[in-house]
Amino acid sequence: MVTKIFSNFINFDFSTIVATSIYLALSIGTSVHILLYKDDIKSSVGWIALIFLSPFIGTILYIFFGINRIKRKGGRLRKKLNLEKYSYDVINNIFIDFPLNYKQFVTFGYKVYPQTFSFGNSIEPLQNGIEAYPEMIKVIQNAKKEVLISSYIFDYDSETVKFLEAFKNAVNNGAVIKILLDGIGSLKFFHRSIEKKLTKIKGLKYGIFLPPSIPISLPFVNLRNHRKIMIIDGQTAFFGGMNLSKQNVLINDFKNGILDITFKIKGPVIEQISEIFEDDWEFVTGKKFQSISKGLQKNKEGDISARMIPDGPDNKTGIIELIINGAINTAIRKILIVTPYFLPEDDILTALEMSAMKNINVEIIIPEKSDYNFINKAMEPNFLRLINRGVKIYRTPQPFDHSKIFIVDDKWIFVGSANWDVRSFKLNFESNMEIFSENLAKKLNCIVELKKAKSKLMTTHDCANVSLLKRIRNNAYRLLTPYG
């Protein structure tokens, strides 16, 4: 009996030593990888703590969700950027009427992402699917050469079926159609109903960005193509944050409707938009592609200067986040932010606080209720610190407002697919457009004023009068927001 107990103890002790040794080897090895390849200190500390406090589970989670495996063949786009054009003298001559702080900001922006500004563009805001979809469909069905579409969400419903008919018309006109769908964004109950419909249209090609195939693609579940791009015949583009779904026309349906904004664009900046689509198409299909917009003669369509800013987890610098931070610090009068999700990291929150403390009018417009309940709660812990420093926060009533607008000093505009959260800044593939236009800023300000008129201005009392249990819950939700 004593011999049996001793034998069991030896076996138990040996297995424990083996398990402990494996655990330490995996944990130390994974921690070394984090120290070598993770630049963000908070992210690194969080992952290392999870790895050591959750034996094996933490390591598995990091392997699947913490490592960026996307190494895109994006060199073609970057090779097109001529670094010799970006001297301060050139900037000073092009932006001769700009005040010094904006010349410095343009210089900063070029160093963050060396893409030239394109001049002579027209950019028209279109609100909701009611304004945007008829314009899109009209241009698509009259296409003669090429239709390029990239959309995070492309539902199959009573509104999007109109796009399918427009595709058929375009094909009959001789146009080539290429469509990119995100593997997660367009999923509905683990299938893409729109995919079957696209397959039936002859002359139409489509690609799926990182399609889910559990468990093979599980490490990529957080790395999504969130871009919304539409280019027709290289001459007309639609760009912004609006998906393709009937929800965007249900503007009076408080429960199911979604408010949004996109932009109809004409002019030479379309070539920069096309380059982003080209790189995405090559990544998804493995085949090189060049849009007809390359080298296509484009007449001057307006007086707006603009440039494209793509970003994604294959870029370590966080281009869009850096541009946003630089713009906040450039402001001298006003900062206006409209976003569906407001969960930036501390550096941006601090920059906004400092701006408000300098008597710059800082206004943030976000939905009263998010389409994701936990995000709605996760946003709230940051409100009190901002309001105490003079930042104005407005909460818009339902329907859910998915609009994304950022304006500084009624002069500089930043629009596109990126939200103000870590997912957009570090995990998703996004694209924004940087614009200088006082006239467009006036139009957007009018749109935002209508949103503010229906909104509730948050007060210190609103934020402080929260029970202890709710504060704990909200801060716990904030911890769940993704970071790379």
| Domain residue limits, the chain | 2-66, 75-97+116-307, 319-479
- To the nearest whole number, what is the mean pLDDT of the chain? 86
Cα–Cα distance between 426 and 223 in angstroms, integer?
9
Burial class of residue 407 in the structure, from the number of CB atoms within 10 Å of its CB (0-12 exposed, 13-18 middle, 19+ buried): buried
Please identify which residue in the block is written with the tokens 């103000």: 420
In order, the DSSP letters of 262-287 are EEEEESTTHHHHHHHHHHHHHHHHS-
Q: What is the pLDDT of residue 348?
A: 96
Does residue 483 carry a pLDDT above 90? Answer: no
User: CA–CA distance from 347 to each of 99, 169, 434 (Å)?
Assistant: 26, 49, 21
Under the banding of pLDDT at 50, 70 and 90, the label for residue 84 is very low
Q: What is the pLDDT of residue 69?
A: 54
One-letter amino acid for residue 233 of the chain: D
Does residue 463 carry a pLDDT above 90? Answer: no
Helix (H, G, I), strand (E, B) or coil at 259: strand
346: nearest Cα among 461, 464, 481: 481
Backbone dihedral region of 472: left (phi > 0), alpha (psi from -120 to 50 degrees) or beta? alpha
Q: What is the pLDDT of residue 480?
A: 64
In order, the DSSP letters of 337-374 are EE-S-EE--HHHHHHHHHHHHTT-EEEEEEESS-SSHH
Answer yes or no: same fold for 75-97+116-307 and 319-479.
yes
Provide, rounded to the nearest whole percent, the portion of the chain with pLDDT above 70: 85
One-letter amino acid for residue 196 of the chain: K
Backbone dihedral region of 267: left (phi > 0), alpha (psi from -120 to 50 degrees) or beta? left
Q: Which numeric CATH code is attached to 319-479?
A: 3.30.870.10
Does residue 280 carry a pLDDT above 80? Answer: yes
Q: Of the ranges 35-39, 456-460, 462-466, which is most confident?
A: 456-460
The predicted model gives 320-345 an average pLDDT of 97
Cα–Cα distance between 141 and 194 in angstroms, integer?
18
Query: Is pLDDT larger for residue 248 or for residue 62?
Result: 248
Q: Of the ranges 46-50, 164-168, 195-199, which is most confident?
A: 164-168
Q: 330: part of which helix (H) or strand (E)?
A: helix 319-330
Query: Is pLDDT larger for residue 78 or for residue 301?
Result: 301
Query: Is pLDDT larger for residue 226 or for residue 16?
Result: 226
| Residues 392, 393, 394: CA angle, nearest 5 degrees | 120
Under the banding of pLDDT at 50, 70 and 90, the label for residue 270 is very high
Q: Under 8 Å CB-to-CB from 462, ≥6 apart: which residues? A: 383
Q: What is the pLDDT of residue 149?
A: 98
The predicted model gives 416-438 an average pLDDT of 94
Helix (H, G, I), strand (E, B) or coil at 99: coil
Cα–Cα distance between 334 and 446 in angstroms, integer?
15
The predicted model gives 209-223 an average pLDDT of 63
Q: Please, what sign has the CA dihedral across residues 332, 333, 338, 341? A: positive
The 10s digit of each residue's pLDDT in 101-127 is 999 999 999 999 999 999 999 999 999
Q: What is the pLDDT of residue 85?
A: 53
Does residue 234 carry a pLDDT above 50? Answer: yes
Cα–Cα distance between 394 and 458 in angstroms, integer?
6
DSSP 8-state assignment for residue 397? P
Could you tell me if 381 and 471 are in contact, meaning their C-beta atoms sit under 8 angstroms apart? yes
Q: Which of 250-254, 318-322, 467-471 has the lowest mean pLDDT?
A: 467-471
Does residue 34 carry a pLDDT above 90? Answer: no
Does residue 435 carry a pLDDT above 90? Answer: yes
Could you tell me if 342 and 402 are in contact, meaning their C-beta atoms sit under 8 angstroms apart? no
Maximal CA-CA distance, the chain = 95
Tokens representing 300 are 């001057």
Helix (H, G, I), strand (E, B) or coil at 189: coil
Provide, rounded to the nearest whole percent, the portion of the chain with pLDDT above 90: 61
Cα–Cα distance between 393 and 358 in angstroms, integer?
17
DSSP 8-state assignment for residue 152? S
Helix (H, G, I), strand (E, B) or coil at 289: coil
Does residue 164 carry a pLDDT above 70? Answer: yes
Cα–Cα distance between 35 and 424 in angstroms, integer?
23
Q: What is the pLDDT of residue 21?
A: 83
| Residues 429, 39, 34: CA angle, nearest 5 degrees | 100
Q: What is the pLDDT of residue 317?
A: 76
CB atoms within 10 A of CB 411: 19
Q: Please, what sign has the CA dihedral across residues 458, 459, 465, 471? A: positive
Does residue 322 carry a pLDDT above 80? Answer: yes
175: nearest Cα among 133, 231, 257: 231
Q: Which of 105-114, 290-299, 310-319, 331-340 has the lowest mean pLDDT?
A: 290-299
Question: Domain 75-97+116-307 is classified in which CATH homologous superfamily?
Answer: Endonuclease Chain A (3.30.870.10)
Cα–Cα distance between 76 and 281 in angstroms, integer?
12
Q: Under 8 Å CB-to-CB from 360, ≥6 apart: which residues? A: 331, 332, 333, 334, 335
Pairing mode of beta strands 430-436, 420-421? unpaired
Helix (H, G, I), strand (E, B) or coil at 254: coil
Q: Of the ranges 188-192, 205-209, 372-376, which is most confident?
A: 205-209
The 10s digit of each residue's pLDDT in 364-375 is 999 999 888 888
376: nearest Cα among 348, 404, 395, 352: 395
Query: Is pLDDT larger for residue 48 or for residue 64?
Result: 48
Cα–Cα distance between 259 and 257 in angstroms, integer?
7
